[in-house]
């Protein structure tokens, strides 16, 4: 008996394939554009790539591999009801859907490491908090990759999952579902923590209110991926569904959407220099004011820490040399921080200039996240403003 005689026309017509393709291709293109803009800022404007940029490149590539697997799965019948497919289509759908999950997991797991790389560089957390942040995101990635291990280990041999001619013994499918829900919830928690952490730190700083809100939104926009991760957890029971090709459609969509969302969120804080160029605040490759420049400050925890917080922003601590922040107004009338370079020994200062090329007195410095103005402090002058 043919499928047309067994199922109604409406049942046969149900197909989520177009939705899979439309949504996943759209978000993948969007995340790639944001990543491209990020690399343009770092490579062309700031002229320096960092660890987080390379991690984002890995994430984008993994996202496109996952998308390619999703497209192949759709071409073989994914999105349609499983019992309406031919034997070969059923096998191919299972194979390409399963193969697409590992790169999908990488696409939303690795950006968490990129966010930590950015936050630890610009916010200068304490040594133990830095270790905690890396350990938290590292453990999250290990937990997420555990889903891949269970996915391929739940049947012995593994190919028996997609090759029906191979006999095999499988675990209860709900083992994978329950573990995946745990890993997904852990991932959502990490995203939320990485979004709240900079907001709590910024709340303690005496920043201009508008700048504080802008920085909080830019650095905390990753909270959107928390919502996506939580919703995706509600789609995970589809892994145990007998209607595999139809019910896993939403899971494929939200796996790629989650990866694209966190990539976009991690790129937004980096794009300030590009916004300045687009709105004419700074000409690409030139500047009307030689004191106005872009420079990214690194971090070094060998200097004293006066702020009773886990973070120093936008101060820079160097061995034998540190900066203190106080509110200032730049030529554009925007509230900034005036970083005052305190006295240091000649040998130490020469080493700093050689390593970091600090700007001269009065320079307006725009980093990829915040704006500062540098001025020289007179020997013996007491530190004012914020106690960085």
The confidence score (pLDDT) of residue 171 equals: 92
Is-contact 262 111, C-beta < 8 A? yes
pLDDT reported for residue 5: 54
Residues whose CB falls within 8 Å of the CB of residue 139, separated by 6 or more in sequence, listed in order: none
* pLDDT tens digit sequence for 160-190: 999 999 999 999 999 999 999 999 999 999 9
Backbone angles phi, psi at 298, to 5 degrees: -85, -170
* Confidence (pLDDT) at 280: 72
Distance CA 192, CA 115 (A): 12
pLDDT digit string (tens) for 326-385? 444 444 443 344 333 444 333 332 222 233 344 444 444 445 555 544 444 444 443 332
Which range has the worst mean pLDDT, 37-51, 121-135, 199-213, 216-230?
199-213
User: What is the rounded distance in angstroms from the CA atom of residue 349 to the CA atom of residue 265?
Assistant: 37
Contact 244, 256 (CB under 8 A): no
**Per-residue burial over 293-311, b = 16 or more CB atoms within 10 Å of its CB, e = otherwise:** ebbbbebbeebebebebbb
Over residues 225-241, mean pLDDT: 92
Higher pLDDT, 357 or 23: 23
Confidence tier at 249 by pLDDT (50, 70, 90): very high
The mean of the pLDDT values for the chain is 77
Mean pLDDT across the stretch 54-66?
96
Note the pLDDT of residue 94: 95
What is the model's pLDDT at position 305?
Answer: 35
Domain residue spans of the chain: 12-274
Which pLDDT score is estimated for 185? 95
According to the model, what pLDDT value does residue 204 have? Answer: 79
Give the model's pLDDT for residue 212.
74
Which value, to the nearest 10 degrees, does the dihedral of the CA atoms of residues 150, 156, 157, 159 take?
-50
Helix (H, G, I), strand (E, B) or coil at 339: strand
Residue 241 vs residue 357, higher pLDDT: 241
Using DSSP, state whether 209 is helix, strand or coil.
Answer: helix
Task: Identify which has the larger pLDDT, 235 or 332.
Answer: 235
Please, what is the Cα angle at 132 between 130 and 138, to 5 degrees? Answer: 105
Query: What CATH number does the domain located at 12-274 have?
Result: 1.20.1070
According to the model, what pLDDT value does residue 276 have?
81
Phi, psi values for residue 352, rounded to 5° = -65, -45
Helix axis angle, 51-75 to 249-267, nearest 10° = 160
CA distance 318 to 303: 5
Q: Can you give the pLDDT at residue 285? A: 55
Ranges 18-27, 189-198, 253-262, 361-370: which has the least confidence: 361-370
Half-sphere exposure of 53 (CA within 13 A, CB side): 16
β partners of residue 324:
340
Q: CA dist 180 to 8, 82, 147, Å?
A: 34, 22, 6
DSSP helix, strand, coil percent of the chain (3-state; round to 5)? 60, 10, 30
Name the band, by pLDDT with cuts 50, 70 and 90, for residue 281. Answer: low
Share of the chain above pLDDT 90, in %: 53
Q: What is the DSSP string of 239-287?
A: GG-SSHHHHTHHHHHHHHHHHHHHHHHHHGGG-HHHHHHHTTSS-TT--
Q: Which residue has the higher pLDDT, 372 or 205?
A: 205
The model's confidence at residue 13, banded by pLDDT at 50, 70 and 90, is confident
**Contact indicator for 146, 121 with CB cutoff of 8 Å:** no
Share of the chain above pLDDT 70, in %: 71
Q: Which band of pLDDT confidence, cut at 50, 70 and 90, is reported for residue 282?
A: low
What pLDDT, on a 0 to 100 scale, did the predictor assign at position 302?
40
Q: Who's near 105: CB < 8 A, 6+ residues apart?
A: 144, 145, 147, 148, 255
Strand 169-170 and strand 371-376: the pairing is unpaired
pLDDT of residue 283: 59
Q: pLDDT tens digits for 289-299?
A: 444 454 443 44
Q: What pLDDT does 369 receive?
A: 56
The pLDDT assigned to 357 comes to 43
């Amino acid at each position: 008996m043919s499928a047309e005689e067994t199922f109604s026309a409406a049942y046969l017509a149900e197909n989520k394939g177009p939705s899979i393709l439309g949504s996943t291709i759209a978000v993948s293109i969007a995340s790639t554009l944001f990543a491209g803009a990020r690399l343009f800022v770092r490579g062309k404007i700031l002229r320096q790539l960092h660890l987080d940029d390379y991690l984002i490149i890995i994430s984008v590539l993994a996202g496109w591999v996952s998308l390619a697997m999703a497209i192949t799965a759709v071409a073989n019948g994914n999105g349609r009801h499983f019992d309406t497919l031919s034997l070969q289509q059923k096998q191919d759908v299972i194979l390409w859907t399963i193969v697409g999950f590992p790169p999908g997991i990488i696409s939303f797991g690795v950006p968490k490491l990129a966010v930590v790389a950015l936050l630890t560089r610009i916010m200068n957390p304490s040594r133990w908090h830095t270790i905690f942040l890396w350990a938290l995101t590292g453990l999250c990635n290990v937990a997420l990759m555990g889903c891949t291990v269970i996915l391929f280990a739940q049947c012995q041999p593994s190919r028996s999952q997609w090759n029906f001619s191979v006999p095999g013994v499988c675990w209860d499918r709900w083992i994978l579902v329950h573990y995946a829900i745990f890993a997904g919830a852990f991932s959502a928690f990490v995203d939320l923590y990485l979004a709240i952490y900079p907001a709590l730190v910024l709340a303690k700083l005496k920043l201009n209110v508008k700048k504080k809100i802008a920085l909080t939104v830019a650095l905390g926009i990753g909270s959107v991926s928390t919502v996506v991760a939580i919703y995706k957890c509600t789609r995970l029971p589809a892994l145990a569904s007998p209607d595999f090709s139809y019910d896993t459609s939403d899971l494929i969509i939200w796996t790629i959407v989650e990866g694209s969302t966190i990539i976009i969120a991690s790129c937004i804080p980096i794009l300030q220099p590009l916004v300045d160029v687009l709105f004419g605040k700074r000409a690409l490759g030139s500047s009307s004011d030689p004191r106005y420049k872009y420079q990214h400050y690194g971090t070094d925890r060998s200097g004293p820490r006066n702020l009773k917080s886990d973070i120093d922003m936008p101060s820079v601590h160097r061995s034998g040399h540190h900066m203190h922040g106080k509110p200032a107004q730049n030529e554009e009338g925007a509230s900034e921080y005036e970083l005052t370079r305190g006295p240091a020994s000649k040998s130490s200062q020469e080493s700093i200039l050689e390593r970091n090329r600090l700007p001269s007195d009065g320079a307006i410095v725009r980093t990829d996240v915040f704006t500062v103005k540098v001025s020289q402090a007179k020997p013996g002058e007491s530190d004012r403003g914020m106690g960085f």
